[in-house]
Amino acid sequence: MAEGSTTSDSQPRTALVTGGSGGIGRAIARRLSADGFSVAVHYMGNADKAAEVVREITGTGGQAIAVSGDVADEAAMVRLFDEVEAAFGGIDVVINTAGVMVLSTVVDLDLDELDRMHRTNIRGSFVVSQLAAQRLRSGGALVNVSTSQTRMQHPTYAPYAASKAAVEALTPVLARELRGRDITVNAIAPGPTATPLFLNGKDQEAIDRLAQLAPLERLGTPEDIAEVAAFLAGPSRWINGQVIYPNGGLA
**43 included as an active-site residue:** no
Q: What is the DSSP letter of 80?
A: H
Give the closest residue to 138 by CA, choosing from 1, 5, 2: 5
Sheet holding 184-188, edge to edge: 64-68, 38-43, 14-18, 93-96, 141-145, 184-188, 243-244
From the candidates 43, 157, 160, 245, give the one annotated as an active-site residue.
Answer: 160
- Identify the three-state secondary structure at position 50: helix
Contact predicate 128/84, CB 8 Å = no
Amino acid at 91: I
At a CB cut-off of 8 Å and minimum separation 6, what does 126 contact?
170
Give the closest residue to 233 by CA, choosing from 143, 129, 171, 151: 143
Give me the active site residues, please: 160
